[in-house]
Chains A and B, each alone.
Chain A
Amino acid sequence: MKYSDLISGIFWLGLGFLLAIWSTHYPIGSITEPGPGFLPLGLGLILIFLSLVLLGQAKKSFVQMQKSPSFFMHGWRQIAFTVLTLFLSIYLFEKIGYLFTIFIFIALLHLGSGSKSWKKILLVSFLCTLGVYSVFVLLLKQPLPRGFLRF
């Protein structure tokens, strides 16, 4: 068992409590006539029990471990950059339309992965945008958002 189990145990314990409390907002019913809150309440209680077991196991080995292993994180900059690019693209997708979003999306991801040649980045982004247009719009007739620019 690792230090990470302690953290995840606390997370699942919190989630178990949240689920159990939240489910009481719905009719629980009885054992022979269960309502919509019945199973979520049961699941919440099971989650609390299991996370306590996990915490118990983690505590035992945590006593023996002086130092926590570092699980954060090789390549975290690129991971953070990728995730932020995804969120930015979601935000922009319907606002500025799919063509510009895809172009920015690919350009940023290549930039984040260490590509330094601007020519290459722009070319790849253009080709990807063209590819999506050809496959999804022309071939598959998918209605992708065009944004306020109407492209």
Chain B
Amino acid sequence: MDIFNNLVLGFSVALSLTNLLFCFIGVSIGTMIGVLPGIGPVATISLLLPITFGMEPVASIIMLAGVYYGAMYGGSTTSILVNIPGEAGSIITCLDGYQMARKGRAGPALGISAFGSFIGGTVSIIGLMLIAPLLARLALKFGPPEFFGLMLLGLTMVTYLCRGSIVKGLIIAVAGIAISMVGQDPISGITRFTLGKITLLDGVGVVPAAMGMFGIGEILTNIEEGVKREVFNTKIKGLLPTLKDWIDSKWPIIRGSLIGFFVGILPGAGTVIPTFMAYAVEKRISRNPERFGTGTIEGVAAPETANNAACGGSLVTLLSLGIPANVVMAVLLGGFIIHGIQPGPLLISKYPSLFWGTIASMYIGNAMLVVLNVPLIGIWVKILKVPYNVLFPLILLFCFIGVYSLNNNVYDILIMVVFGIFGFLLRKFGFEGAPFLLAMVLGPMMETSFRQSLLYGDPFIFFKRPISGVVLSFSILLLAIPVFSKFSSKRKVLE
């Protein structure tokens, strides 16, 4: 009954004309940037943050969340029609989606990805609605050691799950925490590593850094790689999947929703891992696994459902614990803080209209997306045909003006450009930006809870309390796995 009353409250907030409008703007922008390879939800949410200053907190969070799940819808269009993932969460869709397009079935592929995304998104909202309040109640019992343990686990998982060498992942995460130390010490107030610059007293801004690494850095990488897009030149017809398509996709959509949501909750999983898992599960249990990769509809339905379901999952830890599960959530956390709201266990009880309004808006946003996407696919295809040389100066311009508008400070633009070059070089040297940015956001919170925990007078406090003990042991185990697997493979070679 409680949930019912809360949902009524949520819908009364989300259905106000202003919030409906911002939900629409959010999901439309999200779909557009999802369609366009080279600009993702991190840079877009960062870019939109200054614009939300004058808005109501509920409206701005509704819009920013809409950008995130809207991007998942858009990403599939590019994967299917261009064979380039518009979003990282749509990488695996390229395999079967593009093959379907080549066989003249682009329409059903786009259609099933839109409907699958809708179902996955809706399932994840129900999950979020049920799990987040429970987790928030549990988190009220957490002290600094538990929060430190959870944040460290989140960071370890991001590092563990990122591509390439785990050593590189750890290095970049440590560097991210180190950058977050710039500015005033959260406990003593002493200024650190500021080089005497007043701009750095508040630390290095997360938004300029995010826009630099994921906006400017991405553009420089695309310039280097010489992005050329060849849109599949076919008339897209029959967007509605046939009855057979529905029968084939029914179970992949159900499994994709569950995998997406539950894996999405895990810190660091983001939207990529759930899609790969959903695809792998379908291939494993299929009677005809050899059909995967040749244009089977299950290969589109499962990952496209999973990536939207993961969006709702990743919101669970942010809204109930105040801990961002991935880099998009880290930027969204910035959005909350800008509006004076600290996400965490008290968010649901202190700001019920914000929490339930956002949840209700996600139902509405998902419905909007499915209604919008099917008829708007023609427009997205046209946008895809805009040459990158025309597009990137405009993206740079928005980054430039957007980041200045944060604090009306030209140094923020400088920070953005420096981080852009840094992000570009990181990619060139095989490092990932996500652990760095997440560490930068978590750094101050981690330092505070770490030092508060040590003030208990026992350096082993982290292992003496059950929750933090389990969580930290799991983090250590995660870090130890690659070392042991290396040793065991060496031993095998020697034998």
**Which A residues are within 8 Å of any B CB, using their own CB?**
1-2, 4-5, 7-8, 12, 15, 19, 22-23, 26-27, 31-40, 43-44, 46-47, 50-51, 53-54, 57, 71, 73-76, 78-79, 82-83, 86-87, 89-90, 93-94, 98, 102, 105-106, 109-110, 113-115, 124, 128, 132, 136, 140-145
**Which B residues are within 8 Å of any A CB, using their own CB?**
50-51, 54, 165, 167-168, 170-171, 174-175, 177-178, 181, 185, 187-188, 190, 192-193, 216, 219-220, 223-226, 389-390, 392-394, 396-397, 400-401, 404-405, 408, 410, 413-414, 417, 420-421, 424, 428-431, 447, 450-451, 454-455, 457-459
Residue of A nearest to B417 (CB): A86
Q: A19-B178, A54-B171 are in contact. Are A136 and B392 (CB under 8 A)?
A: no
Q: When the two chains form their complex, are residues B178 and A47 in contact, meaning their CB atoms are under 8 A apart? A: yes
Residue of B nearest to A40 (CB): B181
Q: When the two chains form their complex, are residues B400 and A86 in contact, meaning their CB atoms are under 8 A apart? A: yes
Q: Name the contact of B429 in the complex, choosing from A7, A98, A102 (C-beta under 8 A).
A: A7
Q: A27 CA to B168 CA in the complex, in Å? A: 30
Pull 9 A–B residue pairs with CB atoms less than 8 Å apart, ordered by A: A36-B192, A39-B447, A50-B174, A82-B396, A83-B220, A105-B396, A128-B393, A141-B54, A143-B408
Q: A80 CA to B225 CA in the complex, in Å? A: 14
Nearest chain A CB to B199's CB is how many angstroms away? Answer: 13
Q: When the two chains form their complex, are residues A54 and B410 in contact, meaning their CB atoms are under 8 A apart? A: no
Interface centre among B404, B431, B458 (most CB of A within 10 A): B404
Q: A150 CA to B56 CA in the complex, in Å? A: 32
CB neighbours (8 Å) of A46 from chain B are: 170, 174
Q: A143 CA to B178 CA in the complex, in Å? A: 33
CB neighbours (8 Å) of B414 from chain A are: 90
Q: Name the contact of B168 in the complex, choosing from A22, A54, A75 (C-beta under 8 A).
A: A54
Nearest chain A CB to B277's CB is how many angstroms away? Answer: 28
Q: Name the contact of B175 in the complex, choosing from A12, A23, A71, A94 (C-beta under 8 A).
A: A12
Q: When the two chains form their complex, are residues A82 and B223 in contact, meaning their CB atoms are under 8 A apart? A: yes
Q: A12 CA to B424 CA in the complex, in Å? A: 16
Q: A34-B451, A35-B188, A132-B397 are in contact. Are A50 and B417 (CB under 8 A)?
A: no
Q: A83-B421, A106-B393 are in contact. Are A40 and B455 (CB under 8 A)?
A: no
Q: When the two chains form their complex, are residues B454 and A31 in contact, meaning their CB atoms are under 8 A apart? A: yes
Q: When the two chains form their complex, are residues B404 and A50 in contact, meaning their CB atoms are under 8 A apart? A: no
Q: A83 CA to B223 CA in the complex, in Å? A: 12
Q: A82 CA to B459 CA in the complex, in Å? A: 50
Residue of A nearest to B424 (CB): A79
CB neighbours (8 Å) of B223 from chain A are: 75, 78-79, 82
CB neighbours (8 Å) of A115 from chain B are: 389
Q: When the two chains form their complex, are residues A132 and B401 in contact, meaning their CB atoms are under 8 A apart? A: yes
Nearest chain B CB to A148's CB is how many angstroms away? Answer: 15
Q: A68 CA to B401 CA in the complex, in Å? A: 40
Residue of A nearest to B456 (CB): A32
CB neighbours (8 Å) of A5 from chain B are: 429-430
Q: A40-B192, A142-B405 are in contact. Are A2 and B224 (CB under 8 A)?
A: no
Q: When the two chains form their complex, are residues B400 and A128 in contact, meaning their CB atoms are under 8 A apart? A: no
Q: Name the contact of B174 in the complex, choosing from A43, A144, A145 (C-beta under 8 A).
A: A43
Q: When the two chains form their complex, are residues B178 and A89 in contact, meaning their CB atoms are under 8 A apart? A: no
Residue of A nearest to B451 (CB): A34
